[in-house]
Amino acid sequence: MRTIIDIPEDLVARLDALRRQTQLSRAEIIRRALRWYLEHTKVQAIEEDEAFGLWRERNIDALAYEDGLREEWDRF
């Protein structure tokens, strides 16, 4: 999968220094860093059957709620 991300210039400089030192590509360093991060970060996985009906007791119109969240995006 390909993706585009914005990386602050100070981190790019550090990434390039590491790239020169290790002789690895930027992409490989980022893949390794992401793999390490995901292996060392506890993420609580929610199975589909656990998530189904999660909001059933809330008396909220889902589309209206989603529209409200999206309105926040326009503020910035």
Tell me the pLDDT tens digit for each residue of 18-36: 999 999 999 999 999 999 9
**Whole-number Å distance between alpha carbons of 19 and 7:** 15
Domain spans of the chain, in order of start: 7-76
- Residue whose entry in the numeric block shows the structure tokens 């992401």: 34
Q: Counting Cβ atoms within 10 Å, is residue 29 exposed (0-12), middle (13-18) or buried (19+)?
A: middle
Query: What does the block give as tokens for 52?
Result: 């189904």
pLDDT tens digits, residue range 35-76? 999 888 877 766 667 677 777 788 888 888 888 888 888 765
Res 48: pLDDT? 66
